[in-house]
Chains A and B, each alone.
Chain A
Amino acid sequence: MTGTIVDKEKKKVLIVNTNSGGHAVIGFYFAKELLGAGHEVTILTVGEESSDKMKKPPFNRFSEIVSAGGRTVWGDPAEVGKVVGGVAFDVVLDNNGKDLDAVRPVIDWAKSSGAKQFLFISSAGIYKPTDELPHVEGDVVKADAGHVGVEKYIAEVFGVWAVFRPQYMIGSGNNKDCEEWFFDRIVRDRPVPIPGSGMQLTNISHVRDLSSMLTLAVEKPDAACCNIFNCVSDRAVTLDGMAKLCAQAAGRPVNIVHYDPKAVGIDAKKAFPFRNMHFYAEPRAAKDILGWRCATNLPEDLKERFDEYVKIGRDKKQCSLR
């Protein structure tokens, strides 16, 4: 069932990218991978080039996209046609909007300007929580989730499309802390407070895996067509497990402290970077349909991440830890 027809044609790809948050780094890796494969890439970042948000990674590394031959522009996605200067594209990826209001202008413009394939970064967070894991493509989603409305509209309006539902990711250039939250505490010999039992499963992927899945969809548009893909690694890790792996990567001991957020009066959503429940999707569709392979190796990847963490001096930085 793996799509074997790879489209060798070079494509003109537009990435509409968010200017902040956990998904921002996806566009950065995807742009570089496409450029490396010889495609033409424009990345439209929401907002203004001069904004403070652009001083953070991955935006402060956009010169890498430019030097690889890509084009970087800034603006309002609602006026995407104008922002890209009236240019048309073969493939459009929206890695920005979380609801139909934000994405519809991009979808409508992509269709009217003749784009052949529309890709959307949704979220595995839309799956309805259940006792049975993992979340698999086709499982029930929360009807009122913003992303769901977008997914439905894309399917109605576009001929060739694919939707990607990621979870958490690590990787150089990440805009939002993930493993750093653990490193911050481990290097300062502070306890790592984890809500609940620490047994909650989550899925943490290296962003290059997400990028490779997107690239496969561009190169196998017919196989990818009209499918939803969980855009995640193929292994779960427990919250405790993640803390231990971070400590191993740092070569230091870890002191995990479990707490009951309700009893302590803490909003776990703010105090802790992961959901306080099992949240685990598997990339079954990508493996079956695209022949995608997972390359995330959390123990090894975290060593690399820790080396960079130290290199940029974050281990010495003043840190406010609860």
Chain B
Amino acid sequence: MGGTRFIGIFLSRLLVKEGHQVTLFTRGKAPITQQLPGESDKDFADFSSKILHLKGDRKDFEFVKSSLSAEGFEVVYDINGREADEVEPILDALPKLEQYIYCSSAGVYLKSDLLPHFEIDAVDPKSRHKGKLETESLLVSKGVNWTSLRPVYIYGPLNYNPVEEWFFHRLKAGRPIPIPNSGLQITQLGHVKDLARAFVLVLGNEKASKQVFNISGDKYITFDGLAKACAKAGGFPEPEIIHYNPKEFDFGKKKAFPFRDQHFFASIDKAKSVLGWKPEFDLVEGLADSYNLDFGRGTFRKEADFSTDDMILGKSLVLA
């Protein structure tokens, strides 16, 4: 389900390479295939000739049920599911389903003073990601063979969530990087290609049956550290970092910073020891990969918007 925006673009290629027959269920808003920066013409042609498309809206449950049961898929990768009700028609359509592989989120974990989050930790039924939790619970209750992966912050070329892009815009413009509070908050980024490899590793894997795995980078990073890592990755000089107290501002609906203002990281020990998976990219390498194949070539998803930065910098100037 999905497959034409970010994670699925990389995952589908790996699956096709392994010889699986892959169908992407999307509304067709994004091109079904697009040549990736750095992808050879031959590889792209090969991929394009093999990938299949099923056009539809996954919110149209009747259509989902009828179209999927007509095809009789053995495995479902649900990359863009948000709510449990989206999953039911899929399960109803495929009674002989061998595995349902779900892209969940580490955002389901209940905030804690003790970190990192492990897969056994308490989850937050009230979180913004409760749809993901409800989906996981539904999978458990239906008795299907499921696997759920919980990424933290995903990054890499074609990222549509302005994670690294947010820093790159400011670095390119030679602007200071405004970071809320101490800048010591710790977060964790995972490269989309490493996530795609994890998704492939769990396919038909007994050890992944009815298991949840955190998937992200091997190390965690402070907000300040991330700004510096982005600069290093893009060949920019070390940035000027301005810390500010977000409570002193009213940003309206705008987000002044792309990360949650708290420590947020998860242990990937389980995936490493059970699946034998480990991330190939370290942070600076991964950010460089993203920069070289995307932002550094002049492509990005969201235009730069420095309005919140200017509010912060304006006040800093006044105080200084």
Contact = CB atoms under 8 A, between A and B. Distances in A.
A201 B273 contact: no
B115 interface: yes
A132 B220 contact: yes
Nearest to A2: B273
B188 to A, nearest CB: 9
A244 B273 contact: no
B113 A245 contact: yes
B269 A284 contact: yes
Contact of A201 (B182, B221, B263, B269): B263
A244 B224 CA distance: 26
Nearest to A298: B114
A241 interface: yes
A interface SS class: mixed
A235 interface: yes
Contacts of B225: 130-132
A132 B269 contact: no
A278 B222 contact: yes
A132 B113 CA distance: 19
A39 to B, nearest CB: 29
Contact of A287 (B113, B182, B226, B269): B269
A172 interface: no
B116 A196 contact: no
B215 interface: no
A47 interface: no
A201 B115 contact: yes
Interface string A133-176: 11010000000000000000000000000000000000000000
Interface string A258-287: 000000000000000000001000001001
A180 interface: no
Interface string A238-255: 101110110000000000
B114 A132 contact: no
B224 A234 contact: no
Nearest to A197: B182
Contacts of B115: 201, 235-237
Interface residues of B, number: 24
Nearest to B220: A133
A240 B263 CA distance: 12
B184 A133 contact: no
B186 A201 contact: yes
A133 B186 CA distance: 8
A244 B184 CA distance: 19
Nearest to A287: B269
A237 B221 contact: no
A199 B224 CA distance: 14
Contacts of B184: 196-197, 199-200, 278
A254 to B, nearest CB: 12
A237 B220 CA distance: 14
Given A136-B218, A199-B184, 4 more contacts: A131-B226, A136-B219, A241-B114, A278-B186
Q: Which 10 A-B pairs have the closest CB atoms?
A: A131-B225, A241-B113, A197-B182, A132-B219, A235-B114, A133-B220, A131-B222, A199-B184, A236-B115, A132-B221
28 contacts: A131-B224, A131-B226, A131-B228, A131-B229, A132-B219, A132-B221, A132-B283, A133-B186, A133-B219, A133-B220, A136-B219, A196-B182, A197-B181, A199-B181, A199-B185, A199-B263, A200-B184, A201-B115, A201-B186, A234-B267, A236-B115, A236-B116, A237-B113, A237-B114, A240-B113, A241-B113, A241-B114, A287-B273
